[in-house]
């Protein structure tokens, strides 16, 4: 068989991942590309005589698929769109009301330490004098750093589509969904572009019918905005390492639903509810109410919830049935469902922001602020900052080198509110590594002192802190119980979490066919997951022998789409791509470190096509 | 009531098939006892075939029998339909939704200056004409609609009406001349080999196979080869047609160790077909709407699934057997074995 | 001398097949709830038509392909991002509704007028391609009426294969019982309504995307606004059937018993 040659395409700027960061970058950049007469201001180096050639590749099958609902203060968005009308963006609404609910455990299965149990008892004792109802305390005060007054409730899917539509109509940039990027092209220490994934391969990446090697897209600047688990960002981290003292040890999986609320629901549009305390104390939740009786609801399951069976879906079902929430949600119908990973290390996880030929923006560059609970605005802002820097350099005819990008983009970022707030937040979550109450106290102190005070970072790599099921359920289940569940689950090819959680006291979920659905039905009805043929599997068990010996397969338990399942006996887990929602949780839920000694786990999350087909998330 | 024309074509053997008889019954809904009804047949042996419908009581009979009308070909078929519509002067034209008519009816409607509706599942006369029912968005939703335009050509959906079971009677048919030239020659029909045939639209039973067939079974192993054999045996012994869920077809296209018996032609559900059979047996299927629309036009439905919450069964099937499909189908096949 | 074909592929957007659809009564008749928010794809059968057209065009250097689409301009713009890397084509866009409740005859009228107005299209070399039906209207009627309006008398529906030998088109159409009707047509003009064809979906090719985008954005800007009104058509109702069956659940029953019951059921006359 003759070898199919790998083709190459020269452009000026290639962007990876179309999210808020690249949206901000391209919106700002495209505004500077033409003069008042519509003539190009900047000429292409890659195609002399043409305007600047700017491409963006997005792995999802369409722009805005499978992202998230948010509440944001919207500072940076409003700066870019001073005349922003929420009515222009489907599902957008101004924030009208905010509350934080502390949820107590109405079923008695939650894992609560002595301290928290004492707090719970106290609250119950004095509840007549508190804003307490339905096993929940409404906090009388929301600290300023958490408030989103004047902000927006958004579906990021719809927002991204709105931004993309504006961008495309300019004709100045090209956005290509359904086109995963395999990784950066690194020449020495310079990034010279990206390589797209091979197409027409079998699941192992071997050439099959219609094989087309992934094209090399070469450009003077590669803008890396591929999010928390993006393959380009991760490969850059692997190549260049993280700056000294930085690490990425805090993650969460955010799992959410978009719900058509029942006609009887009294929640008003723009309402924002934050919850904490249940189903496990470490799990935070949210309800954002859009117009037309639609709400985004969901939870964050963090990497410091040290459970070996932390299944977001199961927890989501228990969370929404909490009486304080169910009174609003009962009678609602699932419209959309999805999950994604959040990189919660913030500035502590910040990689090298620039190098020769590349710059990093958005969540993968450490913009998520865990103190203010904000990420979209920050991501957008860093995109804007980079665009301003690039225009400045291109107009000056200066090369897009590390040094020049440091002086322009990084300096802008360091001098901005994004950096100021990120510095305040850097120690905000340290306490959670030690426990829920310590975490809350630490976060409160850090927030109220604007970052002046905080607990020290005593984190450890996520994979090293996960107990085995036998350890985790000690006191509730005997090792023999756990062994029996393990054996039964292995025979049936199922995860452990349902059986273990049930035995540990969590009630069985009674499906109602509308909101309470099996995980598979949530995927079918809400996620609409697809996996096109002709691509290699994007979840890879790097060293199969490590998996074979692994007795703590959290990758299976935590998989949002049940796409990772027990394999044959003494084999690595099985990956069913057609169920993968590309949340990336497997990467940080793997409990085995790679033998190379880095903090990387034994799962590689590569670029893959397909995933969720919903733009409402 | 307006004048109704029923129109049908013969098959290669000069016969009128089941669908043609279904469409006649549909036309008779509009023209009870044949009052105001004209019946037209064209194709090979049309005049003789027309006599088999003679008991329907129609007021007029038309026939077109030229040699060039024997083959299924757009140009000649459209010319025939248009000539018959013109000769009848009918306002409403009803025909069976065969492949031949699905291709030619719309063009004939255009040529006659009329409108067309296809895949019609119900018709009822109304004071101001006719109401029809047809489905939109791949059988996801059903509409009831009326048109003011005439002639209005209507193609019935296969299986939606009971076939006319009246008797033959000698009738006088008025021959209608059809003039048509075509640059197309029909070369023939390719028929799949009997043992590889898995799509049998006329079958009583549809077997729907889901991705569960390829999953790990009770012994912790997959058994694709056994699954394929069981399915093939069932299709052969029950003379059933085979439908597949999307996920199973997708797996096949991935080159997984799955069932070679499937191709995209078998796919049912929202991305495939919604076939009509009197009985359906879903095995190892999973998923809620919209996946289960492949089930919609199956009259009697049963399902075998280990999961009692199976979306193809709860509220959608008449009976759900919570059991191992491998075991049940093996036993069913044994019982179906010819003595 | 083979001058190549002029292939006009008719096709527009339909809801992504995995979406949950709900009809509503809109001001202009029935519509889908949240229609503008529903992810959309190029009609699956029209996609096959486009891929087959690209395949045919690759066999000689002189064929040209136009994709003729009626849909809301912003939605067409978005749709182009997912298909413009797959095959080389020139877009001819009409800004109008793309929903399934627009009447086939009206769509055919606009399509025929639009195809006839393509300046460089030679009607004698025309192959009018499209899907055998749309996944929205699901009628399988539009293409034939468009062909009629353009005076094309050679038409084929549910086509899975088209080959060309010495200028003659050899065409396989799906017919009843999983069989194929095989015909030969003495060259264009012809109408070909595709089923799934035999070709896999082409890979995304960024160079094709670059090439297409130079003409797509101007075509979208040029898109003429069209109205598709069929006052003669009245929808009385559009509903999603909600019928629930009373499911009898048989469990903890021996396999033999289940099998016997099933066989008895299979043998009963229905």
Q: Percentage of residues in chain A with pLDDT exceeding 70?
A: 99
* Model pLDDT, residue A524: 78
Same domain, A242 and A252: no
Q: What is the mean pLDDT of residues A162-167?
A: 95
Segments of A303-347 assigned E as strands: 333-343
Is A555 within 8 Å of A584 (Cβ atoms)? no
**Per-domain residue ranges of chain C:** 6-225
> Which element (helix H / strand E) includes A251?
strand A251-260
Confidence of residue B287 (pLDDT cuts 50, 70, 90): low
Residues of B with Cβ-Cβ distance to A521 under 8 angstroms: 287-288, 311
Residues of C with Cβ-Cβ distance to B289 under 8 angstroms: 20
Q: How far is C105 from chain A (nearest CA, A)?
A: 31
Same domain, A374 and A322: no
Q: What is the mean pLDDT of residues B114-131?
A: 93
* Minimal Cβ distance to B311: which of A521, A566, A577: A521
Mean pLDDT of chain B: 88
Q: Name the residue in chain A with its Cα closest to that of C16.
A: A613
Tell whether B264 is within 8 A of chain A (Cβ): no
Please count the structural domains in chain A.
4
| CATH number for the domain running over B194-336 | 3.40.50.1220
Give the Cα separation of A18 and B239 in Å (integer): 51
Q: How far is CA A471 from the centre of its chain?
A: 29
Residues of A with Cβ-Cβ distance to C16 under 8 angstroms: 62, 528, 613
Please give the residue that has the higher pLDDT: either C91 or C242. C91
* Model pLDDT, residue B257: 53
Residues of A with Cβ-Cβ distance to B310 under 8 angstroms: none
Same domain, A75 and A193: yes
* Model pLDDT, residue A289: 97
Q: How many residues does chain C have?
A: 270
**Per-domain residue ranges of chain B:** 4-175, 194-336
* Model pLDDT, residue A596: 78
B302 has a pLDDT exceeding 60: yes
User: In terms of CATH, what superfamily is C6-225?
Assistant: HUPs (3.40.50.620)
Residue B40: name the closest of B32, B23, C144, B29 by CA.
B23
Q: Percentage of residues in chain C with pLDDT exceeding 70?
A: 99
* Model pLDDT, residue C79: 94
Same domain, A338 and A443: no
Q: How far is C155 from chain A (nearest CA, A)?
A: 30
What's the fold here for domain B4-175? Rossmann fold (3.40.50)
Give the Cα separation of B98 and C132 in Å (integer): 14
Give the Cα separation of B265 and A446 in Å (integer): 62
Same domain, A170 and A49: yes
Do the domain assignments include residue A440? yes
* Model pLDDT, residue A13: 98
CB contact under 8 Å between B141 and C240, yes or no, is: yes
Give, in order, the Cα–Cα distances in Å from A425 to each of A286, A342, A347, A366, A415.
20, 16, 8, 12, 16
The region that residue C86 occupies, defined by phi over 0 for left and psi between -120 and 50 for alpha, beta otherwise, is: alpha
Confidence of residue A9 (pLDDT cuts 50, 70, 90): very high
Q: What is the CATH number of the domain that holds A323?
A: 3.30.9.90
Confidence of residue B258 (pLDDT cuts 50, 70, 90): low
CB contact under 8 Å between A176 and C36, yes or no, is: no
This complex has an ipTM of 0.92
Task: Please give the model's pTM, rounded to 2 decimal places.
Answer: 0.91
Q: Percentage of residues in chain C with pLDDT exceeding 90?
A: 79
Per residue in B137-193, pLDDT (tens digit) is 988 899 999 999 999 999 999 888 999 999 999 999 999 999 989 999 999 999 876
Interface test with chain C among B18, B124, B141, B236, by most C beta carbons within 10 Å: B141
Instruction: List CB contacts of A574: < 8 A, sequence separation 6 or more.
Output: A493, A564, A565, A566, A567, A568
Do the domain assignments include residue A288? yes
User: The domain containing residue A206 runs over which residues?
Assistant: 8-82+157-246+347-424
Residue A550 CB neighbour total at 10 angstroms: 18
Per residue in B213-240, pLDDT (tens digit) is 887 777 777 888 899 899 999 998 998 9
CB contact under 8 Å between A520 and B286, yes or no, is: yes
- β-pairing verdict for B319-322 and B298-305: parallel
Residues of B with Cβ-Cβ distance to C239 under 8 angstroms: 141-142
* Model pLDDT, residue B51: 97
Do the domain assignments include residue A615? no
Q: Name the residue in chain B with its Cα closest to that of C148.
A: B107
CB contact under 8 Å between A208 and B255, yes or no, is: yes
HSE value, Cβ hemisphere, 13 Å, CA-based, for B294: 32
Mean pLDDT of chain A: 93
Do the domain assignments include residue A612? no
A608 has a pLDDT exceeding 80: yes
CB contact under 8 Å between B73 and C178, yes or no, is: no
Same domain, A241 and A136: no
Is A617 within 8 Å of A63 (Cβ atoms)? no
| Binding partners of C (≥3 Cβ pairs within 8 A) | A, B
* Minimal Cβ distance to A511: which of B287, B291, B309: B309
| Binding partners of A (≥3 Cβ pairs within 8 A) | B, C
Q: How far is B290 from chain A (nearest CA, A)?
A: 8
Segments of chain B assigned E as strands: 4-9, 37-42, 60-64, 92-96, 115-126, 129-136, 141-147, 152-156, 174-175, 184-190, 205-209, 241-244, 277-283, 298-305, 319-322
State which of A138-152, B28-42, B309-323, C9-23 shows the largest mean pLDDT.
Answer: B28-42
* Model pLDDT, residue A530: 84
CB contact under 8 Å between A7 and C203, yes or no, is: no
The least confident of A108-112, A370-374, B103-107, B292-296 is B292-296
Same domain, A258 and A389: no
A557 has a pLDDT exceeding 60: yes
Please report, for chain B, how many H helices and E strands are present, in that order.
7, 15
Same domain, A484 and A572: yes
Tokens of C12: 């527009």
Same domain, A545 and A399: no
Give the end of a domain, one of A459, A481, A502.
A459
Do the domain assignments include residue A610? no
Confidence of residue B289 (pLDDT cuts 50, 70, 90): low
* Model pLDDT, residue B259: 67
Same domain, A312 and A283: yes
Give the Cα separation of B263 and B252 in Å (integer): 8
Q: How far is CA A179 from the centre of its chain?
A: 19
HSE value, Cβ hemisphere, 13 Å, CA-based, for A516: 16
Q: How far is B272 from chain A (nearest CA, A)?
A: 15
Q: Percentage of residues in chain A with pLDDT exceeding 90?
A: 79
Confidence of residue C1 (pLDDT cuts 50, 70, 90): very low
Give the Cα separation of B222 and B6 in Å (integer): 53
Give the end of a domain, one of A459, A478, A512.
A459
A317 has a pLDDT exceeding 90: yes
Interface test with chain A among B311, B314, B316, by most A beta carbons within 10 Å: B311
Same domain, A470 and A538: yes
* Model pLDDT, residue B270: 60
CB contact under 8 Å between B190 and C23, yes or no, is: no
Confidence of residue C35 (pLDDT cuts 50, 70, 90): confident
CB contact under 8 Å between B218 and A525, yes or no, is: no
C178 has a pLDDT exceeding 80: no
Per residue in C197-223, pLDDT (tens digit) is 888 789 999 999 999 998 999 999 999
Q: What is the CATH number of the domain that holds A20?
A: 3.50.50.60
The region that residue B183 occupies, defined by phi over 0 for left and psi between -120 and 50 for alpha, beta otherwise, is: alpha
Instruction: Compute chain C's Rg from CA coordinates.
Output: 22
Chain C positions with Cβ closer than 8 Å to A: 16, 18-20, 34, 36-37, 39, 74, 77-78, 81-82, 85, 200-207, 209-210, 213, 217-218, 220-221
Q: Cα–Cα–Cα angle for A540, A545, A550, nearest 5°?
A: 90
CB contact under 8 Å between C20 and B289, yes or no, is: yes
Tokens of A342: 């959040």
Q: How far is A486 from chain B (nearest CA, A)?
A: 13
Do the domain assignments include residue A166? yes
**Reduced DSSP (H G I as helix, E B as strand, rest coil) percent helix, strand, coil of chain A, to 5:** 35, 20, 45
Q: What is the mean pLDDT of residues B299-319?
A: 83
HSE value, Cβ hemisphere, 13 Å, CA-based, for B333: 18
* Model pLDDT, residue B140: 84
> Which element (helix H / strand E) includes B231?
helix B224-238
Same domain, A236 and A96: no
CB contact under 8 Å between C233 and B322, yes or no, is: no
Tokens of A69: 């609902």
């Amino acid at each position: 068989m003759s070898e199919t040659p790998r083709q190459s395409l020269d452009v000026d700027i290639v962007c990876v991942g179309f999210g808020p960061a690249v949206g901000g970058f391209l919106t700002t950049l495209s505004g500077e590309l033409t003069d008042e007469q519509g003539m190009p201001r900047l000429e292409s180096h890659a195609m002399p005589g043409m305007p600047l050639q700017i491409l963006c590749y997005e792995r999802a099958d369409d722009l805005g698929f499978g992202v998230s609902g948010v509440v944001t203060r919207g500072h940076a968005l409003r700066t870019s769109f001073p005349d922003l009308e929420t009515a222009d963006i489907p599902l957008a609404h101004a924030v009208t009301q905010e509350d934080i609910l502390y949820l107590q455990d109405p079923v008695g299965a939650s894992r609560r330490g002595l301290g928290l149990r004492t707090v719970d008892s106290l609250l119950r004792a004095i509840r007549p004098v508190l804003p307490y109802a339905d096993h929940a305390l409404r906090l009388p005060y929301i600290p300023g750093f958490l408030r989103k007054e004047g902000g927006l409730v958004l579906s990021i899917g719809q927002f991204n589509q709105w931004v993309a539509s504006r961008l495309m109509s300019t004709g100045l940039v090209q956005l290509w969904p359904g086109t995963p990027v395999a990784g950066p092209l690194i020449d020495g220490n310079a990034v010279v572009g990206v390589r797209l994934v091979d197409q027409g391969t079998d699941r192992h990446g071997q050439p099959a019918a219609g094989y087309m090697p992934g094209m090399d897209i070469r450009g003077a600047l590669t803008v890396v905005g591929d999010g928390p688990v993006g393959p380009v960002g991760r490969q850059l981290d692997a190549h260049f390492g993280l700056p000294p003292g930085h690490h990425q040890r805090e993650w969460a999986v955010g799992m959410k639903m978009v719900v058509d609320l029942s006609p009887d629901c009294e929640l008003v549009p723009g309402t924002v509810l934050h919850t904490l305390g249940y189903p496990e104390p470490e799990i935070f939740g949210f309800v954002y109410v859009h117009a037309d009786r639609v709400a985004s609801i969901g939870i964050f399951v963090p990497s410091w919830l040290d459970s070996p069976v932390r299944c977001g879906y199961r927890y989501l079902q228990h969370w929404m049935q909490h009486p304080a929430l169910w009174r609003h949600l009962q009678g609602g119908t699932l419209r959309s469902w999805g999950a994604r990973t959040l990189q919660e290390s913030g500035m502590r996880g910040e990689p090298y922001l620039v190098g020769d030929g590349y710059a990093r923006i958005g969540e993968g560059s450490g913009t998520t602020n865990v103190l203010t609970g904000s990420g979209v605005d920050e991501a957008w802002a860093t995109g804007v900052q980079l665009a301003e820097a690039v225009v400045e350099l291109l107009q000056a005819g200066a090369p897009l080198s590390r040094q020049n990008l440091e002086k322009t983009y990084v300096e802008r970022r360091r001098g901005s509110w994004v950096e100021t707030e990120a510095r305040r937040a850097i120690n905000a979550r340290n306490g959670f590594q030690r426990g829920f109450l310590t975490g809350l106290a630490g976060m409160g102190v850090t927030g109220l002192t604007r970052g002046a005070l905080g607990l020290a970072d005593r984190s450890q790599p996520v994979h090293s802190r996960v107990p085995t099921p036998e350890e985790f359920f000690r006191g509730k289940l005997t090792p023999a119980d756990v062994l029996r569940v393990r054996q039964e689950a292995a025979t049936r090819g199922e995860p452990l979490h349902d059986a273990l959680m049930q035995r540990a006291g969590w009630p069985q979920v009674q499906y109602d066919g509308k909101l309470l659905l099996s995980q598979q039905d949530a995927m079918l009805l809400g996620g609409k997951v697809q996996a096109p043929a002709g691509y290699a599997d994007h979840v890879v068990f790097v060293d199969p022998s490590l998996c074979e010996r692994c007795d703590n397969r959290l990758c299976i338990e935590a998989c949002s789409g049940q796409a990772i399942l027990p394999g044959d006996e003494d084999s690595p887990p099985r990956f069913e791509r057609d169920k993968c929602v590309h949340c990336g949780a497997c990467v940080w839920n793997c409990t085995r470190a790679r033998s190379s000694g880095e903090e990387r786990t034994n799962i590689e999350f590569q670029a893959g096509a397909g995933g969720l087909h919903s733009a409402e998330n | 009531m307006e004048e109704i024309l029923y129109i049908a074509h013969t098959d290669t053997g000069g016969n009128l098939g089941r669908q043609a008889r279904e469409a006649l019954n549909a036309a008779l809904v509009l023209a009870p006892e044949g009052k105001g009804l004209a019946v037209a047949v064209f194709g090979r042996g049309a005049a003789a075939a027309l006599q088999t419908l003679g008991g329907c009581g129609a007021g007029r009979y038309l026939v077109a029998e030229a040699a060039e009308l024997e083959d299924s070909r757009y140009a000649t078929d459209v010319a025939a339909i248009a000539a018959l519509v013109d000769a009848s002067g009918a306002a409403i034209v009803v025909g069976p939704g065969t492949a031949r008519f699905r291709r030619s009816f719309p063009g004939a409607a255009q040529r006659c200056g009329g409108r067309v509706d296809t895949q019609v599942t119900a018709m009822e006369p109304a004071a101001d004409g006719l109401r029809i029912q047809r489905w939109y968005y791949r059988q996801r939703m059903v509409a009831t609609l009326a048109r003011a335009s005439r002639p209005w050509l209507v193609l019935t959906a296969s299986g939606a009406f009971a076939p006319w079971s009246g008797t033959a009677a000698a009738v006088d048919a008025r021959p209608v001349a059809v003039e048509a030239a075509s640059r197309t020659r029909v070369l023939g029909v390719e028929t799949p080999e009997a043992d590889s045939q898995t799509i049998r639209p006329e079958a009583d039973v549809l077997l729907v196979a889901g991705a569960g067939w390829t999953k790990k079974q009770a012994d912790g192993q997959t058994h694709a080869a056994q699954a394929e054999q069981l399915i093939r045996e069932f299709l052969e012994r029950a003379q059933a047609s085979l439908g597949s869920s999307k996920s199973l077809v997708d797996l096949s296209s991935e080159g997984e160790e799955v069932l070679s018996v499937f191709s995209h032609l078998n796919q049912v559900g929202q991305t495939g077909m919604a076939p009509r059979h009197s009985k359906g047996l879903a095995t190892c299927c999973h998923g809620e709407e919209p996946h289960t629309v492949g089930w919609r036009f199956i009259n009697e439905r049963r399902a075998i699934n280990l999961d009692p919450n199976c979306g193809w069964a709860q509220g959608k099937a008449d009976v759900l057997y919570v059991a191992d499909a491998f075991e049940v189908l093996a036993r069913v096949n044994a019982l179906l074995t010819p003595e | 001398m083979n001058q190549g074909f002029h292939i006009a592929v008719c096709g527009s957007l339909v809801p992504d097949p995995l979406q949950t659809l709900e009809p509503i009564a809109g001001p202009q008749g029935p519509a889908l709830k949240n229609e503008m928010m529903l992810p959309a794809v190029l009609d699956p059968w029209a996609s096959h038509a486009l891929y087959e057209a690209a395949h045919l065009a690759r066999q000689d250097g002189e064929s040209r392909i136009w994709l003729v689409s009626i849909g809301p301009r912003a939605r067409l713009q978005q749709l182009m991002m997912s298909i413009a890397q797959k095959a080389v084509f020139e877009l001819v866009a009409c800004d109008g509704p793309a929903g399934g409740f627009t009447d086939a005859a009206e769509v055919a009228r606009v399509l025929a007028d639009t195809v006839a107005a393509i300046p460089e299209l030679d009607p004698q070399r025309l192959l009018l391609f499209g899907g055998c039906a749309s996944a929205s209207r699901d009628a399988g009627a539009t293409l034939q009426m468009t062909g009629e309006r353009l005076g094309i008398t050679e038409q084929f529906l549910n086509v899975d294969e088209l080959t060309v030998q010495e200028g003659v088109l050899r065409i396989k159409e799906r017919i009843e019982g999983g069989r194929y009707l095989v015909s030969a047509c003495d060259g264009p003009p012809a109408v070909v309504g595709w089923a799934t064809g035999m070709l896999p979906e082409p890979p995304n090719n960024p160079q094709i995307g670059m090439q297409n985008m130079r003409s797509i954005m101007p075509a979208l800007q040029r898109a003429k606004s069209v109205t598709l009104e069929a006052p003669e058509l009245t929808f009385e109702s559009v509903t999603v059937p909600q019928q629930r069956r009373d499911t009898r659940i048989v469990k903890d029953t021996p396999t033999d018993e289940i099998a016997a019951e099933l066989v008895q059921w299979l043998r009963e006359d229905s």
